[in-house]
Structure 1
Amino acid sequence: MRILLFVLLFLSFAYALGLVLANNTEIGVNLLFSQAPTMNLGLLLILCLILGIVIGMLLALLIFRVLQNKWEISRLQKENIHLQEQLTQANVVIDRQANSPTVEEAVYGSGATTPNTAALTVDKEPLLSKHKRD
């Protein structure tokens, strides 16, 4: 990989040197609001090429970062939906367990009361009526 990078760097340097040598005329650059001093045409071409590469790389990084954020948001939304489904299923299981008959109800029936539950209901009645009066 380093050898390939070295070869590409050497070829780009050779290309830039060829541009400078082949285009050795001096030209002036008009920047609309100002005038740049006269410079070699090959050097101007190299500067424009480098500026274009740098701006292109910065824009590519910006676009990649935006796409990466969109992918992350999409992944998190899918995970959120999956977790909400798991929560719903867990709530259904909890509701089933809460509404399932207890051992006493299964043994004595839902209408019958055991001696312990009868005592509890008798004790709760006066407390509830006392709180209702206040």
Structure 2
Amino acid sequence: MCDYSLHHVMSTPAKVGDVLKTTSFPGSSTRGFCAAGEPNVAVCVMPGTELAFSAEIECDRAIGFLPHRRLGATLARFRQVDLDKPYAHHDAIELPNGRIELLTNLSQGQTATVLQLPADEQAQRATPAEAEPAPARHEPIPLFGL
């Protein structure tokens, strides 16, 4: 997904194998992912997408001159938080240890590869037509050859 403040930015959906880069977009204070080589195109990531960062994930500190805060992981799963708050940042990553960090807090310039997209819930719930039970028959069955 793309955070609410990026709705005015051109975007494209993430695909397996895409190399993404953390960036700030013109006209917005929100950070997100862009395609490597296309800094003005936001890449919208679906919740549940698995990402592999090329180095340990880092966040900016509140005080700009301090060094970046390292999160101790290179793998993350994209998710959304605080969906009940319409004007809050929703895009986040969840680390293997369960820690959740807003995407807008990540340091700029980090690269991540899309490893896996989430399974399609509709496809998981659907059952093949041949697996459906046959409809009940309401025809009388003749007994004893009558």
TM band (smaller chain)? under 0.3
Higher relative contact order (CA 8 A, sep 6+): 2
> Larger % of helix: which?
1
> Larger % of strand: which?
2
Larger radius of gyration: 1
